[in-house]
Amino acid sequence: GAGVSQSPRYKVAKRGQDVALRCDPISGHVSLFWYQQALGQGPEFLTYFQNEAQLDKSGLPSDRFFAERPEGSVSTLKIQRTQQEDSAVYLCASSLFGAQETQYFGPGTRLLVL
């Protein structure tokens, strides 16, 4: 596609529910990133994939967060047993290769946990 797409755009979950957020990167992009953005803050790194390999998951805030990219294209970020502090915008970005390359962002999924 023309750009990075994410779905759903908005998600409301009750505390304790599991959610799955999807990212479709730009076709052919090797690298894929997930960020979490709180209101009024810059994006914070969560995890990084190079093709299907998750090379860095150091930013995932807890073991309730899990990400995968099984075929090296579409990625899913899963949050289990959601908590109110998980409320944020989750941004996905892709780049052609990786280091020092421009990252192209999707519109994000706005998650609200009640």
Q: Which residues in this chain contact another protein in the complex, by CB under 8 A? A: 4, 31, 33, 35, 40-45, 48, 50, 55-56, 91, 95, 98-108
Nearer to another protein, 4 or 111 (CB): 4
Alpha-carbon distance of 49 to 84, in angstroms, equals 27
Nearer to another protein, 10 or 18 (CB): 10
Contact 36, 90 (CB under 8 A): yes
Determine the number of helices (DSSP H) and then strands (DSSP E) in the chain.
Answer: 0, 11
Nearer to another protein, 18 or 53 (CB): 53
